[in-house]
Amino acid sequence: MSETANYGEEHIRSLDWKEHIRLRPGMYIGKLGDGSSYDDGIYILLKEVLDNCIDEFVMGHGKKIEVTIEGPRVEVRDYGRGVPLGKVIDVVSKINTGAKYDSKAFKKSVGLNGVGTKAVNALSTYFKIESVRDGQLKRAEFDRGVLRKDEKLVKTEEANGTRVVFEPDDQMFRQYQFREQHIERLLWNYCYLNTGLTIVYNGKRFQSKNGLLDLLETKMDGEPLYPIIHLIGDDIEVALTHANHYGEEYYSFVNGQHTTQGGTHQGAFREAVAKTIKEFFKKDWEAGDCRTGIVAAISVKVVEPVFESQTKTKLGSLEVEPGGQSMRSFVGDFLGRELDNFLHKNPAVAEVLQARILQNERERKELSGIRKLARERAKKASLHNRKLRDCRIHLSDAAKKEDRREESTLFITEGDSASGSITKVRDVETQAVFSLKGKPLNSFGLTKKVVYENEEFNLIQAALDIEDGMDSLRYNRIVIATDADVDGMHIRLLLMTFFLQFFPDLVKNDHLYILQTPLFRVRNKKETIYCYSDEERLRAIAKLGKTAEITRFKGLGEISPDEFKHFIGPEMRLEPVMITKDAKVNDLLGFYMGKNTPSRQDFIIGNLRVEKDLVEEPTDGSTAARIQDIARKLAMSEAEIE
């Protein structure tokens, strides 16, 4: 008899709130992750706590938030009204409990489902909440959602507010690490959207006076073509300009939440900005020509926003408030009025904008024939060359594709052996493999024409489906998988140059990664340990004994498929390619990939890490000469290499 035939009452199970969160964490915080991605779960936990602090600020209570992170422990202190003392335990341990169901108290809040801090509590090995109200303090402590301490009220001289301390569960978030750049990006976004708010993070102050204008000035690489246009209205704020780069770059927010995947408000903005520009100039330009090179930010406030997931990365609301004005007309009317007025009052800006649009139009027409041929070549290559081994998610129905979109990954590999190993052991549902043929071209300083004329670049672009922008990006993560030797490092640089040169928003939105594979295998008869550094190798030897067998992996092709499955599975180590707040892409590319070979060589000599297998000690002891030779090769331009 089949197992389904035995279906009875004993198969029905009820889970309490914490069990359900721990069993299905993706429903509450999206993916788990190790902290390498901006949207990994540990940052969502931090955000859920901060959202409550921000809601207090928005309601006019508390202008400062203090955040302290030391190792795995996070502490957040606000100076709002504090949680009502009799409800401190309930608000962090009873699902669907909170003040945000009262629309009078929190009309335009980020979180409306009463889940946020409950998820933080359930997914933390240690969770403490303290609330101070009018000279009294209430404290409670939890372990994975289980109440461990319920302390009585005590008198205090502390200022009103709430303190939350938590440590993410290392059983759920394996080998996690908080990364400064992701935390600072999160905090800066809160400040840009809440002028007058001060956040102090580990002693560093974050504050913005000009909102989205400050955001764009910080995010922009190089100078804008015209001064940033900053428009503020009721429940909407917009900042925009154009720059000398390809593509479109957007930063969109709803009720203070960074909607990294956009949504109805961002779509309405893209449509409205092109429509307003065309009507102002009385030209029937293509919308894409009006937007290419745009850098823009939009923030809206919505009553009872509807997001497409608990992590709130994409807005689904069609209306500004239930039964009210549509999002499309709300954004469209605002831009149609305010942007049009601005352009009339600033003819010099209008003149520069028109010149950029005409340039976009010329380039598009010049590329039209090349693009058609490139598409045909890409289609033939995908059918016959097998450079791309796609994943099944793109052959599935739309609903399934959306459910697992966050997991979709494309590995870009060098050589057949590495791509073969990954292909054999990958998750065929969500992981795809693209095999490079030789070294890519150094694209620094070249025009987008090369993307279509160069076979490798054309096929990568086609595989990612990013010819017309990031909206159609087929994979959430693009992972460069190369050997950890000189040639592998050079290929990484060439690929990063390609993406930064032509698709910088792909990097800025945290889609590009480097695959970390082990350098050593240390094993005895009972255990095998894979080591990613010399320090890990020494620890493994200390654990397994000096008689353990030690293998040094010199390339991905030396790692068998059976072993490779450990390195691209759930515990895959990825190093994100991130652009720091102060970095200027053009300057970076000019230094690393331009023709300033002597200065680059000096930099490499000063920073090259000497490893036994990379730099062999010559018989005459002239290690320095060997380093200089390797540095010279790394510093060579593409023309010199050929």
Please, are residues 52 and 162 in contact by the beta-carbon 8 Å criterion? yes
* pLDDT > 80? residue 386: no
100-109 residue pLDDT tens? 545 444 556 5
**pLDDT of 629:** 53
* pLDDT > 90? residue 76: yes
* pLDDT > 70? residue 242: yes
**pLDDT of 25:** 86
* pLDDT > 70? residue 628: no
For residues 340 and 275, give the distance between their C-alpha atoms in angstroms, rounded to a whole number.
Answer: 10
Structure confidence at residue 9 as a pLDDT band (50, 70, 90): low
* pLDDT > 60? residue 117: yes
Q: What CATH topology corresponds to 386-517+553-587? A: Rossmann fold (3.40.50)
Task: Read off the pLDDT of each residue in 335-352 and give the average, rounded to a whole number.
Answer: 97
Q: Which residue has the higher pLDDT, 206 or 500?
A: 206
**pLDDT of 155:** 96
580-600 residue pLDDT tens? 655 566 666 666 676 655 665
Token pair in block for residue 402: 């959306």
For residues 399 and 415, give the distance between their C-alpha atoms in angstroms, rounded to a whole number.
Answer: 35
* pLDDT > 80? residue 283: yes
**pLDDT of 309:** 63
424-473 residue pLDDT tens? 999 999 999 999 888 888 888 888 888 888 888 888 998 898 887 777 88
* pLDDT > 50? residue 87: yes
**pLDDT of 157:** 94
Task: Read off the pLDDT of each residue in 41-53 and give the average, rounded to a whole number.
Answer: 93
Residue with tokens 């569960």: 169
Q: Which CATH number fits domain 18-207: 3.40.50.1370, 3.30.565.10, 3.40.50.300, 3.90.1150.10?
A: 3.30.565.10
For residues 554 and 556, give the distance between their C-alpha atoms in angstroms, rounded to a whole number.
Answer: 7
551-582 residue pLDDT tens? 998 778 778 888 888 889 877 888 888 776 55
392-398, long-range: CB within 8 Å, 24+ apart, which pairs? 392/428, 392/429, 393/429, 393/430, 394/474
**pLDDT of 606:** 55
Token pair in block for residue 154: 């005590």
* pLDDT > 80? residue 419: yes
Q: Which residue has the higher pLDDT, 349 or 448?
A: 349
Distance of alpha carbon 233 from the chain centroid:
29
306-322 residue pLDDT tens? 887 656 778 888 888 88
Task: Read off the pLDDT of each residue in 244-257 and give the average, rounded to a whole number.
Answer: 87
Choose among 376, 436, 385: nearest CA to 410.
436
For residues 38 and 576, give the distance between their C-alpha atoms in angstroms, rounded to a whole number.
Answer: 9
Q: List beta partners, residue 409.
A: 431, 477
Q: What CATH topology corresponds to 212-363? A: Ribosomal Protein S5; domain 2 (3.30.230)
For residues 228 and 239, give the distance between their C-alpha atoms in angstroms, rounded to a whole number.
Answer: 6
Model-level pTM? 0.76
Q: List beta partners, residue 232.
A: 237
Choose among 503, 471, 477: nearest CA to 36.
477
**pLDDT of 377:** 72
Q: What is the mean pLDDT of the chain?
A: 84
Q: Return the amino acid letter for 197.
A: L
First-to-last alpha carbon distance for the chain, in angstroms, is 69
Buried b (16+ CB within 10 A) or exposed e, 528-555: bbbbeeeebbeebbeebeeebeeeebeb
Q: Return the amino acid letter for 479.
A: V
Distance of alpha carbon 603 from the chain centroid:
29
**Residues 6 or more apart from 588 whose CB is under 8 A from it?**
500
**Residues 6 or more apart from 457 whose CB is under 8 A from it?**
440, 441, 443, 450, 451, 498
Domain range summary for the chain, segments of one domain joined by +? 18-207, 212-363, 386-517+553-587, 520-552, 595-642
Please, are residues 505 and 576 in contact by the beta-carbon 8 Å criterion? no
Q: Is 487 helix (H, G, I), strand (E, B) or coil?
A: helix
**pLDDT of 619:** 44
Comparing 18-207 with 386-517+553-587, is the CATH topology the same? no
For residues 315 and 260, give the distance between their C-alpha atoms in angstroms, rounded to a whole number.
Answer: 10
Q: Count other Cβ atoms within 10 Å, centred on residue 603.
A: 16
